[in-house]
Structure 1
Amino acid sequence: MTSFLPRALGSVAFAAALACTLPGAQAQVPAPATATLPSIASFFSSSPISNAKLSPDARYLAARSGAPGRRDALVVVDLQTNSGKVVASYNDADIGDFQWISSERLLFNTREKGVGVGNTRYAPGLYAVNRDGERFVELADRTGHGATHGTRSTRKILPWHTFMLDQEGAQDSEYVYVTSANLDTAGEVRSVDLLRLNTLTGATQPVPRPAGNVRGWELDHKGEPRLAMTLERDTITLHYREPSNNAWRVLASFPAFDDGSKALEPIGFAPDGNLFVRARSGGRDTTSVHLLDTATGKINPEPVLVTAGYDFDGSLVSNRDKVLGVRFRTDAVSNEWFDPGMQQVQASLDKLLPATINVVSVPAQPESPWVLVWSYSDAMPGTYSLYNTQTKLLNKIADVRPKINPAQMGRQQFVRYKARDGLEIPALLTLPPGTKRTGLPMVVLVHGGPWVRGASWGWNPYSQFLASRGYVVLEPEFRGSLGFGIKHFKAGFKQWGLAMQNDIADGVRWAAGKGIADANRVCIAGASYGGYATLMGLVNDPDLYKCGVNWVGVTDINLLYNNGWNFSSDMSDEFRAYGMPERVGDRVKDAAQLKATSPIQQASRITQPVLLAYGGVDQRVPINHGTQFRDAVMKTNKHVEWVEYPEEGHSWSLAKTHVDFWGRVERFLDKHIGAGAAQ
């Protein structure tokens, strides 16, 4: 991981076929580093190829392909003939997600890449097409006002709230399972049905569901419905469907919003019918992979896989015969193989590509010699390749961001430092390119959530953009972050603006103490919870931060409970009732603490320059969070910059928004802690 060596092995004919078929997918050779900084657009523009997938027999490769000024299309390449074809494209929509139904047929939906959330006109819809572009059928409505594309079946089309299931099914016929959401009068999902759909006729058959509000489904190794997850008040229940008679029975039940110590998270089924789950056992602080006996409901206390120091975060890698291994995340995303043959494949790939992490996907049919390889590093956004396990040839398909020159990117490392109370805080540290490694200006980038895992080792547009402009970037996994054990998670309960905030400040002092960062040139930045932490950092530690950048950030915890009659939020009623009082604070019992840790209530204490950016149709953190804080802080602080993107939601979806926002960030940082700042 210390250097980048691009490689492209394999037949010239194959590379030529992909170059002709996939716009912008030619093999890219990084140019020498120059003094010219990479453009903002190069970090945030759409990739020419994404979401590549092998067909079940691995004869075909499907991918989403695009080019500047053109809609994303669905492309299928025949790997035997080195020929490709666009099998689906639209003038008013982009291809969204897709999956192989069989080696002959694909299911896909659409998206509007060039339209912000506020101007979205259509639902994703649902469509199916053969790999040669024939037998194209519209299956689920996109507009609610009649057919827009393709051939409809003779029966009534499925409603707009019919969606793809994010799991591979049997992949051996024209049938597939899809979900249909049941919405209440407020438009919130109350339960989810599962339908067996014929993608040639549009005919559906509902899967009988267990009692309760089903929120999720799990298919077994053969692609049949085997598990349903219900949520009732604050309890999740796993229901198992007996293969012999399709009757449902309760397999396990656990609290939905507690510390997670009793949770059982399904990962996938083994061919023998038993269930791989993520669970804590044997007094371990972190979760591991275990096997659950579906006949008895008991978990084997001996773990199948332990990721030391991390909660298991991953999925199974299987073919039709067996579970081969897992794809999982520790400091980075990689594979772990149970199968000796795949262990050898991984070793061969890592020898061919020694400067990258090489993540392997396998086709459904075990006799196929092809595997799909995703290679990445901290400085390289990623490359798709095909590897033939028989001939040992590696064929490069495309770089996902060909305009990024790895030589101009920063280098990243996973570090750990001690908080003031002794808790160990994991973090990512990205250093800018160049020779100087000490006394640099620094941006502390705080992740959202906060109950999520932040970024893992690898190329990230936010941190690499900032590093390209000369800033050290520190991304702390403060207490409350997921992925590092139950102790780390629980330590963040009711600590918004308190110990969670101290963990971030202690990271700044650690970096300054190591000589990495200039203690006099530090800015704090983040989105959502990270925006909240930005503002509270300016409140709590005015001597530490010279400025702050908050986008779509929470500005008052009480506003999360009640946004007012004119502002809607997509936060669930269950989480407000059972999760927030436990994790954030009770509005009555903890009223004094919520006031002391409210950026709006403490706005007069913020004297540093601050950049605020909000989406006009954000339903996670509605814009009144931003406007109320802006009005409060501007009463006493004249160094406030404000921007609203009327068509954006909780994250920026438009390339033009990214370019405008990060251009503002660049100028703001330069003025206050960069080369343009008064030294």
Structure 2
Amino acid sequence: PKEGEPASYTGAVFARDGKAVYVSTDLGAELHRLARIDLATGQQTPLTAPLEWDVEDLALSKDGRTIAFLTNEDGVSVLHLLDTAAGKEKPAPKLGLGAGVIGAVEWHPSGRELAFTFASARTPSDVYSLDVTTGKVDRWTECETGGLSAASFAEPELVRWKSFDGRTISGWLYKPPARFSGPRPVIVNIHGGPEGQYQPGFLARSNYYLSELGIALVYPNVRGSSGYGKTFLKLDNGVRREDSVKDIGTLLDWIGTRPDLDAKRIMITGGSYGGYMTLASATHFSDRIRCAVDVVGISNFVTFMERTEAYRRDLRRVEYGDERDPKIRAFFEEIAPLHHADKITKPLFVVAGRNDPRVPYQEGEQMVATVKKNGTPVWFLMARDEGHGFSKKRNQDFQFYSTVAFVQEYLLK
């Protein structure tokens, strides 16, 4: 809108008569809702106001009678159907596929069958179809899992804990097989963004930590994550940046309450913004963790802003703050993990891409040089032919094997 609070619009699709557009928007609301916009008057009518979750995707049947749409419910995709004539929901068949992530929703021309992709802890993204009349679900593809039995992969548990300000934070816990006895060591993996969200999709090679090393995995959605409304999304903006780090501190407290988890053997890791969170956590909670792995993370927001590609700066300033403002710049310098590296006394592994346009390699390089002065064990892996995260298989493999070696040396011993 030209005036008032900014709003987001996604998934626009024309009504069959061409007189309206259906969208997902958070205009005038905390969460994304399905809405109808009258093109003649501009009037917007919410269609899913009672729902307390974001509407993420939508598809209109060819006859214009039904909208299939998805809600993101604590990271789990849920399918809904809406009767466009009545402007109300109608019962949608249960898919019976368990907790996972649905995408690419598309109607068959008949208006009876709905195609979609689905990924979960036990399946990579595969294609399915749903007969919305009978509720019959057919699986059209079956991605291979390297000869491993997908049925053996751990399914996640949605967990919640109270943070420092009483706010509830959630995440997903994956536990190793029962053959691993006693309290299990933990890897806390923090997503990037920060406007991202961990959803219970396929873990791929991360299953190795569970099934072969007996390590529990926790994927937190700290404040600033998407999927929980506009207020939650903004809770880490500007000078509230470290409040999200405090969420990790309270997660460590929660781990200590679980008899099945070993609070004395915890590793923190994350990529990009999750790499910043990893470094910040390593400075704040060094006495509570065994080690940390920072992947293409930010070590100082000032140097990051100065070196990141110019096309990204204004966008990042909206989220992090404007480093040209003396007060913001001083705050950045105050919280920079680089300036608190003397507090990192536990082993650190830093991964960087020499051609990274987002988080330049110097962010990792300067952190490594500074932490080494402590006499703290530091591993540094920089790929000269990679950017923001490794994309070449040979490099991905090398990074994974290196990380496993680091975990075996410093988390498991």
Question: 1:279/1:440 Cα in 2 relative to 1: closer, same or farther (>3 Å)?
Answer: same
Looking at structure 2, the residues matched to 528 and 616 of structure 1 have their Cα atoms a distance apart, in angstroms, of 14
Q: Please say if residues 617 and 647 of structure 1, whose CA atoms lie closer than 8 Å, have aligned partners that are also in contact.
A: yes
Question: 1:389/1:652 Cα in 2 relative to 1: closer, same or farther (>3 Å)?
Answer: same
Question: 1:570/1:528 Cα in 2 relative to 1: closer, same or farther (>3 Å)?
Answer: farther
Report SS of the residue matched to 1:550.
Answer: strand
Q: What's the CA shift for 1:591? A: 3.3
Question: 1:438/1:592 Cα in 2 relative to 1: closer, same or farther (>3 Å)?
Answer: farther
Are 1:253 and 2:2 counterparts? yes
Question: 1:533/1:390 Cα in 2 relative to 1: closer, same or farther (>3 Å)?
Answer: closer
Looking at structure 2, the residues matched to 449 and 357 of structure 1 have their Cα atoms a distance apart, in angstroms, of 19
Q: Please say if residues 289 and 306 of structure 1, whose CA atoms lie closer than 8 Å, have aligned partners that are also in contact.
A: no
Q: What's the CA shift for 1:615? A: 0.9
Q: What's the CA shift for 1:510? A: 0.6
Looking at structure 2, the residues matched to 288 and 559 of structure 1 have their Cα atoms a distance apart, in angstroms, of 38
Report SS of the residue matched to 2:326.
Answer: coil
* 1:275 paired residue among 1, 21, 28: 21
Name the counterpart of 1:402: 145
Q: Please say if residues 100 and 201 of structure 2, whose CA atoms lie closer than 8 Å, have aligned partners that are also in contact.
A: no
Are 1:427 and 2:167 counterparts? no
Looking at structure 2, the residues matched to 356 and 640 of structure 1 have their Cα atoms a distance apart, in angstroms, of 37
Name the counterpart of 2:260: 516
Matches within 5 A, 1:76-225: none
Question: 1:586/1:461 Cα in 2 relative to 1: closer, same or farther (>3 Å)?
Answer: farther
Q: Please say if residues 419 and 425 of structure 1, whose CA atoms lie closer than 8 Å, have aligned partners that are also in contact.
A: yes
Looking at structure 1, the residues matched to 100 and 320 of structure 2 have their Cα atoms a distance apart, in angstroms, of 41
Point out where structure 1 has 5 or more consecutive residues left out of the alignment.
Answer: 1-251, 256-260
Matches within 5 A, 1:468-547: 468=211, 469-495=213-239, 498-547=242-291
The AA in structure 1 aligned to 2:314 is E
Name the counterpart of 1:548: 292
- Give CA-to-partner distance per residue, 1:261-320, whole Å, 9 cap, x none: 5314143232243233334466x53332222222222322x4435542x333x1212232
Report SS of the residue matched to 2:67.
Answer: strand
The AA in structure 2 aligned to 1:602 is H
User: Which of the two has higher C-alpha Rg?
Assistant: 1
Report SS of the residue matched to 1:428.
Answer: strand
Name the counterpart of 1:574: 314
Name the counterpart of 1:299: 44
Report SS of the residue matched to 1:381.
Answer: strand
Are 1:315 and 2:61 counterparts? no
* 1:466 paired residue among 203, 206, 209: 209
Question: 1:253/1:467 Cα in 2 relative to 1: closer, same or farther (>3 Å)?
Answer: farther
Superposition TM-score, scaled by structure 2 size: 0.86
Q: What's the CA shift for 1:467? A: 2.2
Q: Please say if residues 479 and 492 of structure 1, whose CA atoms lie closer than 8 Å, have aligned partners that are also in contact.
A: yes
Name the counterpart of 2:195: 451
Name the counterpart of 1:325: 68
Question: 1:576/1:490 Cα in 2 relative to 1: closer, same or farther (>3 Å)?
Answer: closer
Q: How many residue pairs get matched?
A: 403
Name the counterpart of 2:375: 637
Looking at structure 1, the residues matched to 273 and 289 of structure 2 have their Cα atoms a distance apart, in angstroms, of 18
Report SS of the residue matched to 1:448.
Answer: coil
* 1:654 paired residue among 350, 374, 392: 392
Are 1:365 and 2:109 counterparts? yes
Q: What's the CA shift for 1:608? A: 0.9
Superposition TM-score, scaled by structure 1 size: 0.54
Looking at structure 2, the residues matched to 421 and 356 of structure 1 have their Cα atoms a distance apart, in angstroms, of 30
Report SS of the residue matched to 1:415.
Answer: strand
Looking at structure 2, the residues matched to 571 and 360 of structure 1 have their Cα atoms a distance apart, in angstroms, of 29
- Give CA-to-partner distance per residue, 1:146-167, whole Å, 9 cap, x none: xxxxxxxxxxxxxxxxxxxxxx
Q: What's the CA shift for 1:410? A: 1.6
Q: What's the CA shift for 1:544? A: 1.3
Q: Please say if residues 444 and 524 of structure 1, whose CA atoms lie closer than 8 Å, have aligned partners that are also in contact.
A: yes
Looking at structure 2, the residues matched to 537 and 508 of structure 1 have their Cα atoms a distance apart, in angstroms, of 10
Report SS of the residue matched to 1:643.
Answer: strand
Looking at structure 2, the residues matched to 521 and 266 of structure 1 have their Cα atoms a distance apart, in angstroms, of 42
Are 1:593 and 2:331 counterparts? yes
The AA in structure 2 aligned to 1:618 is D
Report SS of the residue matched to 1:652.
Answer: coil
Looking at structure 1, the residues matched to 129 and 31 of structure 2 have their Cα atoms a distance apart, in angstroms, of 35
The AA in structure 2 aligned to 1:263 is A
Report SS of the residue matched to 2:245.
Answer: helix
Greater shift, 648-657 or 586-595, is seen at 586-595
Q: Please say if residues 101 and 199 of structure 2, whose CA atoms lie closer than 8 Å, have aligned partners that are also in contact.
A: no
Q: Please say if residues 539 and 606 of structure 1, whose CA atoms lie closer than 8 Å, have aligned partners that are also in contact.
A: yes
* 1:558 paired residue among 277, 302, 307: 302
The AA in structure 1 aligned to 2:57 is S
- Give CA-to-partner distance per residue, 1:55-111, whole Å, 9 cap, x none: xxxxxxxxxxxxxxxxxxxxxxxxxxxxxxxxxxxxxxxxxxxxxxxxxxxxxxxxx
Greater shift, 353-362 or 587-596, is seen at 353-362
Q: Please say if residues 537 and 545 of structure 1, whose CA atoms lie closer than 8 Å, have aligned partners that are also in contact.
A: no
Q: Please say if residues 413 and 457 of structure 1, whose CA atoms lie closer than 8 Å, have aligned partners that are also in contact.
A: no
Report SS of the residue matched to 1:524.
Answer: strand
Instruction: Please give the root-mean-square deviation of Cα atoms over the aligned residues, in Å.
Output: 3.1
Q: What's the CA shift for 1:432? A: 1.5
* 1:624 paired residue among 348, 358, 362: 362
Question: 1:421/1:395 Cα in 2 relative to 1: closer, same or farther (>3 Å)?
Answer: closer
Looking at structure 1, the residues matched to 239 and 51 of structure 2 have their Cα atoms a distance apart, in angstroms, of 27
Point out where structure 2 has 5 or more consecutive residues left out of the alignment.
Answer: none
Q: What's the CA shift for 1:672? A: 1.5
Looking at structure 2, the residues matched to 671 and 463 of structure 1 have their Cα atoms a distance apart, in angstroms, of 18
Looking at structure 2, the residues matched to 508 and 548 of structure 1 have their Cα atoms a distance apart, in angstroms, of 14
State, as a whole percentage, how many aligned pairs show the same letter. 22
Q: Please say if residues 188 and 218 of structure 2, whose CA atoms lie closer than 8 Å, have aligned partners that are also in contact.
A: yes
